[in-house]
Structure 1
Amino acid sequence: MKKPSNQARYMAGMVVDATGSGMYLPLSLLYFHHVTGLPITQIGVILTSAAVVGLVSNPVAGVLIDRFGARTVVVGGYLLRAAGFCAYPFVDGGLVMFLVVLPVTLGDMSFPPAIQSFVAEIVHGTDRDKLLAAQRSLRNAGLGVGGLLAGAALALDSDSAYYLIVVLVAVGYVTAAALIRTIPTDRGAPPAGGRVSRRGGYRLVARNRPFLSLTLLNVPTAFGYMVLSVSLPVYLTQELDASNSLVGVLYAVNTVGIALLQIPVTRHLTAYRRTRAMALGTVVFAFSFCFFAVLGAFPSGTLVLVGVFAATLAFTVGELLHGATASALVAHAAPEETRGRHLAVYQLSWAVPTALAPAVLTALLSVSAVGMWLLLAAGVTGSALGVLRLERRLPEAAVRTRPKAAEETVPVEEGGPVEERRPVES
């Protein structure tokens, strides 16, 4: 029997991971409220506190990736989270909850830089873009399946259903770790004596101004990504008088759209510069935010409902253009010797906005809903312009995919000189 390919095993691991996450994410607050009886607000504070403390795992993960390799950190993070979930059934109070949630949070925070580094170690060139696109697509599908499984389990309305879910999530993480562990990497040899990995690594990141600029430019975009889960539900129900059920439908539109279209869209985008695909994606985000802002001027009705779906579709298109392309650009822009540290720093541009978004976006909504949308649109537009200006300062391999077929040499004419055929600039 033929052994599954490295990429097939990788994608199987991502599907198992995402399915488990999809089972738990929708009921994280409900689970602890059910098993401890603590108020939802107190549980929220505990989870946020663990997330803030968990931010320290980003720089630590960067050091570990450069020292031991991304695969080791990915597998270790999975096992750490599995151990935490195995302890969930024993939570009986606030302090125990914090101590149990913390290792799960540390594993969650270390995952993005580790998995991006791991992808960079197992595939190269346009294959990296395609694998990241497939990952986004299948992870969205896995999250959806996990949510359905969680709903079916909770329909039983018993304590056993809650415990079954967390145990299955733990089993999923162990399974994903086992799959990733079997994938060989072609990680480059470390610098002589390992000095770059052990000393001065983050000083090298600090001196890499183009990469730091790319990181800072991602902050407004990261806030933009959060509107679907933070701003839109409040805006729809309180400003547009829409039903609560519409929130779930729009989330499904986005999730299914990414699952079905990310791979073909990214395959098409490999013919263009990554920076320009990213910039186009953020401009489409800006368009969707302006569309949402305009809807507030109309009375609720069919026109607003159609407009909400159109704006959500535009947001999904922006995510299709930006998401996988941005991940590939950053992975290529990070120097191999300190890739873990570079990606850990970049991940802060996602982690910090994710932590702050609930407070910041709801505060802006309370002041002016239209103002919030227009501010977000201005922010992502500034990011697009900044990325375009930064293009010349980034490594050429990061900006251009340079398909292999386009770099082959062909004879100009029989008996004549051989001319290199270069890709047409996009």
Structure 2
Amino acid sequence: MRQKRSSVRFKYMAGMIVDATGSGMYVPLSLLYFHHVTGLPLTEVGAIVTTASVIGLVSNPVSGVLIDRFGARAVLVCGYLLRAAAFCVYPFVDNAAAMFAVVLPVALGDTSYPPAIQSFVAEIVQGADRDKLLALQRSLRNAGMGLGGLLAGAALALDDSGFYVVVLGAAAGYVLAASLLSTIRVGASARPAGGRVSRRGGYRMVARNRPFLGLTLLNIPTAFAYMVLSVALPVYLTRELDAPVSLVGIVYAVNTVGIALLQIPVTRHLVTYRRTRAVALGAGIFALSFVTFAVLGSLSTGAALIAGVFVATAMFTVGELLHGATASALVAQAAPEETRGRHLAVYQLSWAVPIALAPTVLTALLSLSATGMWLLLAAGTAGSALGVLRLERRLPRAAVHPEPPGAVPDVSESRSTREVA
């Protein structure tokens, strides 16, 4: 019997909340944990984590092959269990070699997660429902990450054993998330005939898909834009603008709370428009926010500067609201079903590479010219917006339109969606 849509959504979102809570407990403390437990210098800990992350990045194409061969759910669940097993071993790490042996499986699981989760969403929901589910996911994951951070803080406030509580709590979260998602059955329409995915052409099919590769390349400037809030903005506010350090936390809170509260209603409105237009508008607003940040360098400290920071941050948040969930739905639908895993693994590189390079690139640009960095980011995101608009006609119609033009909404389905969300 086919699972009820409400049951699928509930299990999926419960899994995402548990996953985000566990991640929120550990991610902020990843470097400090091994420094505290092993006594290794932070520089050595950072080098080990970076090396494992690079290996995970290089292995990214393998995850695409596994998704197409065994299905997104299998890769997703195995990735959760792999990371959970590694976290359970964390308390026994006492040297650099042992540390590398446990952080590598975590890096591999982290790398397989984005293409697997996007493929999984594409399998369990279709059309505008996909945008809505991704919006709900973004909103609740923000809340889960925040809750995880609070739980980690409470655990560490007790004594040094709090570090072990954090990693074992993260492991438990991954196991529970795997248990929830493993019970979601993929609809028959999502499976290829005969139960196996066609592997003809492999990554050659991705290389020949020019529109999809265009989407991937155009996402690189926007991916750098997303990294601004955590990498460049704190340094810019405190060093270039002489703003108090406390303002950094407030600005971050404005962004995360805004996403948590507004992502769902914004996306519900956006499903009546072309995805490409929403993605381009989001990138364009990113560009405007960066120009605003650049102008702030000419203002003196005071109320005007603080107000300008909040205006620019609000614009950045609006850009993220328009771009985030919609871009994920656009890319998942633009990927051919038979090689969706490979396509999304390639697309993930447009995120993974900027994430890896952003700390070095953005800080280098910031040291050369803060204004120049903001204007370069603005030019990149504006170019991305224009590129997506030009690419619109070459993308599959179903990818561009969440709801087919002229389609009559299903009243009962809309009511069910509202109840679940």
Give TM-score, length-normalised by structure 2. 0.93
Aligned to 1:407: 407
How does 1:341-352 map onto structure 2 within 5 Å? 341-352=342-353
2:79–2:112 Cα contact (<8 Å) kept: yes
2:133 maps to a residue whose letter is: L
1:384 maps to a residue whose letter is: A
For 1:262 and 1:84, the matched residues in 2 are separated by 33
1:207 maps to a residue whose letter is: R
For 1:118 and 1:127, the matched residues in 2 are separated by 13
1:32 positional shift = 1.0
1:272 maps to a residue whose letter is: Y
CA RMSD of aligned residues (A): 1.7
1:55 positional shift = 0.8
| Pairing 1:237–2:238 present | yes
Aligned to 1:419: none
**Deviations, residues 247-289 of structure 1 (Å, cap 9, x unaligned):** 1111111111111100000000001000000000001000111
For 1:58 and 1:119, the matched residues in 2 are separated by 19
1:200 positional shift = 2.1
1:220–1:383 Cα contact (<8 Å) kept: yes
For 1:43 and 1:244, the matched residues in 2 are separated by 26
Aligned to 1:208: 209
- Structure 1 residues 90 and 171: CA distance shift in structure 2, 3 A: same
Aligned to 2:177: 176
2:398–2:404 Cα contact (<8 Å) kept: no
How does 1:305-324 map onto structure 2 within 5 Å? 305-324=306-325
How does 1:54-73 map onto structure 2 within 5 Å? 54-73=56-75
For 2:39 and 2:33, the matched residues in 1 are separated by 10
1:218 maps to a residue whose letter is: N
Aligned to 1:255: 256
| Pairing 1:268–2:261 present | no
| Pairing 1:299–2:311 present | no
**Deviations, residues 279-334 of structure 1 (Å, cap 9, x unaligned):** 00001000111111111111222211111111111100000000000000001100
The 3-state SS of whatever aligns with 1:228 is coil
**Deviations, residues 122-143 of structure 1 (Å, cap 9, x unaligned):** 0001000000000000000101
1:196 positional shift = 3.3
1:19 maps to a residue whose letter is: T
For 2:197 and 2:340, the matched residues in 1 are separated by 14
1:286–1:381 Cα contact (<8 Å) kept: yes
2:191–2:197 Cα contact (<8 Å) kept: no
**Deviations, residues 17-57 of structure 1 (Å, cap 9, x unaligned):** 00011111111111111111112122111111111011133
For 1:356 and 1:224, the matched residues in 2 are separated by 12
- Judge which range, 34-43 or 391-400, deviates more: 34-43
- Structure 1 residues 51 and 403: CA distance shift in structure 2, 3 A: same
1:335 positional shift = 0.4
For 1:249 and 1:193, the matched residues in 2 are separated by 50
- Structure 1 residues 70 and 393: CA distance shift in structure 2, 3 A: same
The 3-state SS of whatever aligns with 1:227 is coil
**Deviations, residues 59-104 of structure 1 (Å, cap 9, x unaligned):** 1111111111100011000001101111111111222111110100
- Structure 1 residues 371 and 357: CA distance shift in structure 2, 3 A: same
- Structure 1 residues 173 and 299: CA distance shift in structure 2, 3 A: same
Q: 2:102 aligns with which of 100, 103, 115?
A: 100
The 3-state SS of whatever aligns with 1:366 is helix
Aligned to 2:53: 51
For 1:129 and 1:292, the matched residues in 2 are separated by 30
1:190 positional shift = 3.0
Specify every segment of 5 or more residues in structure 1 that has no aligned partner in the other structure, as ranges.
410-426
1:57 maps to a residue whose letter is: S
Aligned to 1:7: 9
Specify every segment of 5 or more residues in structure 2 that has no aligned partner in the other structure, as ranges.
410-421
Aligned to 2:412: none
Runs of 4+ in 1 over 4 A off after TM superposition: 191-195
1:126–1:403 Cα contact (<8 Å) kept: no
For 2:403 and 2:92, the matched residues in 1 are separated by 53
**Deviations, residues 190-216 of structure 1 (Å, cap 9, x unaligned):** 36795832x421000000000001000
Q: Which has the larger radius of gyration?
A: 1
**Deviations, residues 174-197 of structure 1 (Å, cap 9, x unaligned):** 000000000010253436795832
How does 1:382-397 map onto structure 2 within 5 Å? 382-397=383-398
**Deviations, residues 101-160 of structure 1 (Å, cap 9, x unaligned):** 01001101100000000000000010000000000000001011111111111222x221
1:397 maps to a residue whose letter is: A
For 1:51 and 1:300, the matched residues in 2 are separated by 39
1:403 positional shift = 5.3
Figure out how many residues of one structure are paired with residues of the other and give that number: 405
